[in-house]
Structures are given as C-alpha cells and as structure tokens.
Chain A
C-alpha cells in the first residue's frame, strides 16, 4: 500500500520578510525554511498508518527548488517516512501547476492508496492544492481533517467546519486527506532517525519533464506589500472604572463599531 504525503517547505513563521524590489515575491536569502506546520500532521498520520498496517509504505513528495527543498524531505525521512521524491521546480509556481505536477509524479509512481496533505500552506495561503490534486487523480477528498481512521472500504474522517461542528465523512477507496491541527501530535526526528534518513532513497525529478505546460499557470502574485504601519495603541488612562467608560465611549463615538 502506497501512502504519499505532500509536504511544502515554507519560511519559518518567525522569519522577518523582505519584499523583492520588483514586488513579485519575498527575498528568500537569509530565511530559515521549515516544514509547513500542517504538513507535519500529515507526515505523522501517514507514519501512524504504516505502523498499524503492515506492508504500507510512506513516500514523501515535495515540489520546490533544489537544493533547499531536499531538506524538508530529509526532515520527513528522519521522522520515519520511507522514501523521498523531490520535484525540482522554479519558485512561485501557482496552486494549479503545483497540483498538476504532484499528480503527474504520483501517477508515474504507480498511483496511491492514500494521500495526506496539509490543509493550507502558510506561505501562499491557498488551501487549494489537495483538492486540485484529488481532481487530477479522480479521487475523493476531505479537507480540514482532525480525525482519521481506516474503514472497511476506505477511510472515515472528521472534518472541522463552522461553529465548532464536525462532519463525519466516509470516503471510499483511495483518497486525499488534508490535515488540520488536532489530528495528532507530530513526533520529533530522533537522532537515530536522522542517521537512518541519510541512507534512505531520495529521488529527483525535473519539473520540466512532467509535461505541465505554461498555460497551466493560472494565477500570479504581483505588487506584494507589507501591511500598513499601525499608529501605536491609544492607552487609556485612569482607574479601571474611568478606563472602561472611556473605552466604550471611544468604541462608540470614535471607532463607530458598536
């Protein structure tokens, strides 16, 4: 049974971003890169699945520029994934082309029994690649999943929706599952894990070999800007009773939000 996990390398959440002079993206120099936080849940769930199902194999797949994108695969291999696949691709491919390329590689590898992704990549904030991938592979999907188990002919998941409600969904056959926080606690890579990872297979594939045409690039980010500087907070003076009445008055008369 082949279990694929799609993982993306993203700037560390604490990283300070510099926008490129042409405003087409952020300057990657000097940024610390990490695994997209939701993809950690995806990797963990795949490893747990393999531990519970003899014969399952976990393949981690990323699309990104070499050599930096290989690091995120090494991290996943150190956590316990079996094999890594790197699609060497230019920066700034959109969600459509990315999903097309991931789908193409999964087909070339003989298809999947189960695919995990994160619910969103925190850099492009697109929440699209999993559903698009599922469409290109004609598989059912579920996103924002916080509970996962194997069913008789497929999988059973819980999906988080508005108001704290959960949808209990049954997926039949091979499926794409996008992980939310709450699904599990991702393990850390242990030292022996890191040593073992060095010997695991890491295959490289060129994006240009996958037949994804330039017409499959559908959206483009331009004019990146930093958020406008906020004036400092108005600190409200006085004792607590005075503070409270001033605040309510400001909210009503100045900010006009009541």
Chain B
C-alpha cells in the first residue's frame, strides 16, 4: 500500500471544496492518505483534514508560504515529497496549482496530468480523464516512467459527502528550507469580485451581447445575487469593454464546470461552448429559437431576456428564501 498526498488549499481557515473532493477520493482508494498544508494558517484547517479522510497531516508552517510564490512553493512541495514519498499526488487545477505542479513534475522527473475531470485509482494503478481540444473530446491519461503521478483536478468534479468528525490524524510539522528567490510577489491587486471565482463557482450566470449594453449587466448581478452565483460573460461583451476580462468564459477565457450554468443572451459560439459545455445543467435564455446554445442546453426558454430575467430573479427569491 502506497501513500497518496493531497495538497490542500484553504480559504479563511476552511478547506476548500475542491480539496475536500480530493481527500475523499483518495480515502476511497484504500491507500494511506496524507494531507499537505503550506503556510502558518495550515494548522487551523489541519484538524478538518482528518474528517475528510486524511490519516496523516503534514504542515510546513512557514510565514513565507502564507502567500503563493512559485519558487517557495516549488521548494516546499519538493521537500514534502522527499519526506512523505507519495506515489500519487493530487491537487486542484487552481491558478497556483496549475502554475507550480508542472514545474514540480519536471523537478521530480515525473509525469503530470492537468485539468482532469475524472480520477480512477485501482490498487496501484491510476488514470485520469481530461478534456482535449477545448472539450471536443476526452482522453484517459496514463502514466509511464513516473515515480509520483501528479494529477490536477478541476473543481466540482467529484462528490463530497459529510465530514466524519470522529476521525483523527497524526500531525507532523516540517521545517521549510527556503530557496534563494528570483521571483518576488510585489503586490496583489484585488479583483472587483469577492465572490467565488468562476472556476470554483457552483452556479454561474453568464451574459452576452443580447444584454445590449454594459449597464444591463445589473440584471444578471441581481439574478446572481438571488442564486448565490458568480457572473460570467461571453467574449463579445468582454471585448466591447462591458465587463472585465477575468469574467470571460470560453476557449480564450475560463473553463468552467458548475452544477448550473445559465446563459443569457449568448448565442453559443463553439469557442464559448468550449469553456462551459462540461457544466452539469445548462439553461439558455435567448430570443432566437435557432441559437446554437439550445443544442447544448438542458432547459431552454425562447424569449426576451429583459422580460424573463427580472421575473426569474423574483421567482428564485421566492423559492429559495422562504
């Protein structure tokens, strides 16, 4: 029996859902599950890791790891792998995850599969499924010549069941040997949105050119507010400057896979579909019954968004808040 190391991400001292998914998936495999926390906040969330399936908790509680820095994280992860000797390493395909784990793979002379949506661990063999060609097809990724199989999973792909708070884990702290840095984080410029990022959001409300002008995005913000959703957009409206570039969904924007994606006034161009067709349930609201978005949608309303969206917002408020 080998060890599976899960790199755990947290937010306000809570383990992120994406990491909960990984811990529970690792636990189901029957292998020993080790959770890794980087930074001084790690200790607070560490106790929760046991309830999601970790048997060992490893912490590099160094203040230099409180914020993401590619070189510090690379060194910390390499040191952790050296000590823990996992044969599988799971992490989220987050912006820091995607930045550092491929480089770690190069350092450890091992393989990395990024942006995976399914994970199969059977005995000692592991494979993952991932979208290729902007979601136009899927492939299994198999590892060769890889001492540590590194898999980066997209958020919201695996089920999460209630944590078992009776479980405990051993906690080990490790010293972090700092590397000399050529990369320095000067500043983080906060985004406009304090909401969950599109790539992590469970519900997304997305708007396109059908909204006619920037000010009308207010309609979608109200809808999103009622649903606890994050607002996305098509490229057409990003290029028009109505909303910021970070909100773009699609091939040259973000790839999202929420449980519910509501496309409002979006035609459904292939490059937009590339970014959202992995969503579990898709609702399309469009005045043109022939819009291609209806071919990917689960439910469709053919109608005028300016009539539908305010009513929908009220209906959600009624149903969700009573």
Contact = CB atoms under 8 A, between A and B. Distances in A.
Contacts of B144: 217-220
A67 interface: no
Given A128-B102, A225-B137, A244 B308 contact: yes
Contact of A164 (B98, B193, B298): B193
Interface residues on A, range: 35 or more
- Is chain B's binding surface mostly helix, strand, loop or mixed? mixed
A141 B301 contact: no
B253 A181 contact: yes
Contact of B103 (A141, A172, A233, A234): A141
Interface stretch (B159-167, B182-190, B214-222): B182-190
Given A248-B315, A257-B280, A219 B297 contact: no
A234 B99 contact: no
Nearest to A170: B184
B141 A220 contact: yes
Interface residues of B, number: 96
B246 interface: yes
A119 B160 CA distance: 30
Interface string A1-35: 00000000001011001010000001000000000
A26 B193 contact: no
25 contacts: A11-B133, A13-B271, A26-B133, A96-B105, A122-B133, A124-B132, A131-B102, A140-B70, A141-B183, A160-B245, A163-B191, A164-B244, A166-B188, A169-B184, A169-B185, A218-B105, A218-B145, A227-B277, A232-B294, A244-B301, A247-B299, A255-B280, A257-B280, A257-B281, A258-B260
For the complex of A and B, 3 pairs with smallest distance between CB atoms: A164-B191, A218-B111, A128-B102
Given A164-B246, A221-B142, A236-B301, 15 more contacts: A122-B251, A128-B112, A158-B189, A164-B247, A175-B182, A216-B109, A218-B144, A222-B140, A223-B139, A224-B139, A227-B277, A233-B295, A234-B300, A255-B260, A255-B280
Interface of A: 11, 13-14, 17, 19, 26, 37-38, 94-96, 99, 122-129, 131-132, 134-136, 139-144, 146, 154, 156, 158-173, 175, 181-182, 215-227, 230, 232-236, 240-241, 243-245, 247-248, 250-252, 255, 257-258
